[in-house]
Amino acid sequence: MAKFTEHTFATPVELEPGILRLTLPLPTGPRHVHCYLLRGDDGWTLVDTGLGLMETPWDEILAGLDAPVVRIFITHMHPDHVGGAEEAARATGAPVIQGRLDYAQCERVWGSSDWPERIAEWFLQNGVPPQTAEELIESGHVFADFVQFAWNPTLVEPGDTVDGWRVLATPGHADGHLCLYRDGVLIAGDHVLAPITPAIGLYPESRPDPLGDYVDSLRSVAELAPRVSYGGHGGTVEVPAARAHEIVEHHERRLDKTEASLGDDPRSGFEVSLALFGTELPPIQRRFAVAEALSHLERLVVLGRAEREGDGRAVTYTGRSAGGRETA
Ligand SMILES: [Zn+2]
């Protein structure tokens, strides 16, 4: 439990009047996820729900609040944010609110029994060795059991308001990712994080250029210039606009590195992931590494800095500046 001591789990902490942070443990990755409680006239809005893997002591948490939780808002469909939604809805009796696009993807990924096979097929096309793909299928089925999202939530669209908070579309980390914004406060989900940077991956049956989407939505947050941003992991971001620019620069450097890994010989997303993230990764990390390599490769294609070739069975990339391909 030593790794958990940096956070007090399952005890809401007041960040400013009417905004509480509720941190829940995760078994992997950053080992914690932040949910938020936002006070309104009729009670609290809970933002995100943790992973359905560990039981959350909702009775104690709710008993410590001065009013009931009257609605639950989901920023995006990743397991650590949506996985505990059903349990939270049961404990509070509150309706779950989720973005229309995000819920469609949530249902497709966590609600269909053959998603692990479909995503493994796609990874095979992108050069992932069969044994690694096989391990992805197994871990995918195990993981899906712990994601207890809420079926048939109330659907919202960007531009709607939830108890006075404006719903912002912030695609990138997930296609349907949403933030809440009010009075200079951004409830950021995994859009703007510090010190870690959110993973930006390309996935099947998703938007074609997630990194392009992400950079655009980081710039729109920078223009909004929130006073403060509270994210799903890590620390409070005191100057969100500056952090948004830093993250854009981080991806520009990674784009350069991705481009440098390409040449005349066609390379798969898997091969590029080896160049970017090394050869020693367990399957679950390799999954993110390949998806991240592919989001950068597709961005390079959009920018005219790489070329993609694919016959439906294998997808590869080559550099534009390599060999004699440069035209006068
Ligand atoms: Zn997260």
Q: Cα of 189 to ligand 1 centre, how many Å? A: 7
Q: In 3-state terms, the chain is what percent helix, strand and coil (to 5)?
A: 40, 20, 40
Q: Cα of 83 to ligand 1 centre, how many Å? A: 11
Dihedrals phi, psi of 318, to nearest 5 degrees: -130, 160
Q: Cα of 194 to ligand 1 centre, how many Å? A: 12
Q: Cα of 82 to ligand 1 centre, how many Å? A: 9
Q: Cα of 267 to ligand 1 centre, how many Å? A: 30
The owner of tokens 């971001």 is: 237
Question: Closest Cα to residue 200, out of 299, 275, 270, 116?
Answer: 299
pLDDT of residue 3: 39
Question: Which protein residues have their CB within 5 A of the ion that is ligand 1?
Answer: 80, 190, 232
Q: Cα of 265 to ligand 1 centre, how many Å? A: 36
The helix (H) or strand (E) run that includes residue 100 is: helix 100-110
Q: Cα of 326 to ligand 1 centre, how many Å? A: 41
pLDDT of residue 29: 83
Q: Cα of 305 to ligand 1 centre, how many Å? A: 31
Distance (Å) of CA 314 to CA 204, 259, 270 = 14, 20, 11
pLDDT of residue 255: 98
CB 180 within 8 A of CB 226: no
pLDDT of residue 311: 75
The owner of tokens 């074609």 is: 208
Q: Cα of 80 to ligand 1 centre, how many Å? A: 5
Can you tell me the distance from the alpha carbon of 117 to that of 97, in angstroms, rounded to the nearest whole number?
Answer: 29
Per-residue pLDDT tens digits of the chain, which is 328 residues long? 333 446 789 999 999 999 999 999 998 888 999 999 999 999 999 999 999 877 899 999 999 999 999 999 999 999 999 999 999 999 999 999 999 999 999 999 999 888 988 999 999 999 999 998 888 888 777 778 889 999 999 999 999 999 999 999 999 999 999 999 999 999 999 999 999 999 999 999 999 999 999 999 999 999 999 999 999 999 999 999 999 999 999 999 999 999 999 999 999 999 999 999 999 998 888 889 999 999 999 999 999 999 999 877 899 999 987 544 444 3
Q: Cα of 134 to ligand 1 centre, how many Å? A: 25
∠ CA 32-198-51, nearest 5°, is 35
The owner of tokens 């729109």 is: 220
Q: Cα of 123 to ligand 1 centre, how many Å? A: 22
